[in-house]
Amino acid sequence: MFQVALTGLLTGLALIVAVGAQNAFLLRQAIRGEHVLPIVLTCLLSDVVAITAGVAGLGVVLERWPAVLPVAQVLGGVYLIAFGVHAAMRAWRPAGLEAGEGTSLTVGRAVLLTLALTWLNPHFYLDAVLMLGTVANSFGGDRWWFLAGTLVASVLWFFGLGYGARLLRGLFARPNAWRVLDSGIAVLMGALGVGLIAH
């Protein structure tokens, strides 16, 4: 039970921590001190909806067609390995995350932009719905513990980035920090991918 939740936590963090438009926008707004809580809550609620839908939806599909699980596990394993390879390539040529300058936004525009950066990103569906849903359902009845772990990862990441951004600005600006982080993600994703295929 604890091990499954921990796996969910680590998998969730590995998928969410990658440098992307959503994280860059949150970091930028957090450093500027603009609408941090609404943006963090929008990111978090998006994860809750998408990941829960993935775990529950795939659970229903697998109850009706259990033969889908082995296929989904192989495809999911290949995706995780590819994700790990991509992280390894980022570690090979790391880049700092720039918060950038820009004009102020109203809270409404900030939330709408966060929703667009989240829900219009195809990788969001792959990671949150399909990937995490597949991995979670490989644990059978313990899939809800995996879900709990991934949601804790989302809470830790979004609140940590949103409210720790000023402290982390110097760290995230250094390519070597991303090299270490992406190297760890590459190893974890590769191991999870192989484990999912061999399950």
- Cβ count within 10 A of residue 20: 16
Nearest residue to 132 (alpha-carbon basis) of 108, 153, 109: 153
Residue-wise pLDDT for 112-164, tens only, equals: 989 988 888 777 877 888 888 888 888 888 999 999 999 999 999 999 989 98
Task: Report the domain count for the chain.
Answer: 1
Binning pLDDT at 50, 70 and 90, where does residue 99 land? low
Q: How far, in Å, CA of 21 to CA of 10, rounded?
A: 21
pLDDT at 83: 74
Q: What DSSP letter does each residue of 14-61 carry, written as one string?
A: HHHSS--HHHHHHHHHHHHTSSHHHHHHHHHHHHHHHHHHHHHHHHHH
Residue 89, exposed/middle/buried by CB under 10 A (0-12, 13-18, 19+)? exposed
Residue-wise pLDDT for 67-84, tens only, equals: 777 877 787 778 778 878
pLDDT at 78: 83
- 102 occurs within a structural domain: no
pLDDT at 180: 80
- pTM, two decimals, is 0.73
Work out the average pLDDT over 157-179. 79
Residue-wise pLDDT for 16-61, tens only, equals: 876 567 887 787 788 778 899 999 999 999 999 999 998 888 767 7
Angle at 94 between CA 90 and CA 97, to 5 degrees: 110
- 101 occurs within a structural domain: no
Phi, psi of 121 (to 5 degrees): -95, 115
- 50 occurs within a structural domain: yes
- 62 occurs within a structural domain: yes
- 3 occurs within a structural domain: yes
- 166 occurs within a structural domain: yes
Task: Tell me the two tokens of residue 186.
Answer: 């590459």
pLDDT at 101: 52
Q: Is residue 97 scored above 70 in pLDDT?
A: no
- 99 occurs within a structural domain: no
SS3 state at 96: coil
Task: Tell me the two tokens of residue 2.
Answer: 């604890």
Q: Which residue range forms the structural domain that includes residue 44?
A: 1-94+107-198
Binning pLDDT at 50, 70 and 90, where does residue 179 land? confident
pLDDT at 115: 92
pLDDT at 168: 67
- 100 occurs within a structural domain: no
Q: How far, in Å, CA of 101 to CA of 179, rounded?
A: 25
